[in-house]
Amino acid sequence: MDRKRLGIQFLWSLLLALIVYMALILYGDWRQLSAKLAAFPWIWLPPALGLTLVNFGVRLLKWHWYLRLINAPIRFGQSARIYGVSFLMTMTPGKVGEFLRAFMVRNVCGVPVSVVAPVVLAERMTDGLAMILLAGIGLLVVDDAAIRAAAILALTGIVAIIVCIQIRPLAKACLSIGHRIPFVNRFADKLAAFYESSYHILKPKYLLISVLVGLVSWAIQGLAFYLLMLGFEVAAGFDTMLASVSIFNISAVVGAVVATPGGLGGVEGSLAALSSQILMLTRSEAAAAALLIRFLTLWFAVAIGLVCLALWPYLLTSRESEKPAN
């Protein structure tokens, strides 16, 4: 991996972050935003940060479990280091840098990139399914018929996708239809190749476990956002909690769709807009909440990635088997 190129991409991502946060500050009126942050009860931050760490830990367990499914001869400590370094790769467009995990696994234990890459794809896909499920479930409690209808539609779509994946002839038929759909046809061959290479790890029992783990991890992260909402004096309650989890996960999905480094712009904009619309936060409160949760998720993860890369730079450049054992 060209570390100079990685550094340049990271600097461009920081520039984009600066632009996004300047826009968010203007949206929230920087004077009122500063006042809201100054008045925020910071006692809520440690438990929210703790929930973020739990989310990271659950996702790490899922990653290592997937590696065991493909029989990768890798120790938990090795896969944890790789996962830690990969946090830095979230600052690449569309998180494509996360596929460097496949190269790092190859460097550690010699498993071909082509074998590990489907694991990264399957992990992201099942996380996406879990996020959409959480988003839909949370929106069902919102007192708006249009929003509830959209939630039901999203949940129905997820069930249809899971059923399609499990029925091999149906999945192949759908993939073949993709060749005839504009825009989708550009990715149809890659989707078909992914499906074939991932068929083993997408079997019913593995898919169910993976989605359930995703539900747990992203619900935990949504709870961290709920704690921040309490700090902005949103009324505590089960409905508010579900709505907060939903808002966070919708925003994460939007961030994945816009494919900017770390979802910059898409996540922050969605968080601010949905917090104002659903939880009735003021613009300054919504902007402050978006800044805080992104500190806990994106920038805390990036900091972990930087530390891990500084400690284990050889993961990107050479075989760990050539290194002295710890």
Say if CB 262 and CB 298 are below 8 A apart.
yes
Three-state DSSP at 174 gives helix
- pLDDT at position 115, please? 85
pLDDT tops 50 at residue 326: no
- pLDDT score recorded for residue 9: 75
- Alpha helices in the chain, H assignment, sequence order: 3-27, 30-39, 45-69, 76-86, 100-109, 113-139, 145-166, 168-178, 188-197, 204-231, 238-258, 266-278, 283-294, 300-311
Mean pLDDT computed over 103-109: 91
Sequence-distant (≥ 6) Cβ neighbours of residue 262 within 8 angstroms:
13, 17, 90, 91, 95, 255, 298, 302
d(CA 66, CA 126): 12
For 175-191, the pLDDT digits (tens) are 777 777 776 666 677 67
- Cα 258 to Cα 178, 252, 269, distances in angstroms: 21, 10, 11
Residue 286: is its pLDDT beyond 90? yes
Q: Provide the percentage of residues in the chain whose pLDDT is more than 70.
A: 87
pLDDT range class, residue 147, cuts 50, 70, 90: low
Judge whether 122 and 103 are in contact, CB under 8 Å.
no
User: Is the pTM of the predicted complex or chain greater than 0.95?
Assistant: no
| Model confidence band, residue 121 (pLDDT cutoffs 50, 70, 90) | confident
Whether 40 shows a pLDDT value over 60: the answer reads yes
CA-based nearest residue to 62, from 74, 75, 49, 80 = 80
Confidence at residue 57, expressed as pLDDT on a 0 to 100 scale: 97
- Residue 13, pLDDT > 90, answer no
Q: What is the DSSP string of 218-243?
A: HHHHHHHHHHHHHHTTPPPSHHHHHH
More reliable by pLDDT, 90 or 4: 90
Position 240 confidence tier, pLDDT thresholds 50, 70, 90: very high
Segment 100-109 shows an average pLDDT of 90
pLDDT computed for residue 324 by the predictor: 42
pLDDT tens digit sequence for 122-142: 888 889 889 988 988 877 666
Angle (deg, nearest 10), helices 266-278 and 283-294: 140
**Sorting pLDDT into bands at 50, 70 and 90, what band is 76?**
very high
Average pLDDT over residues 256-282: 89
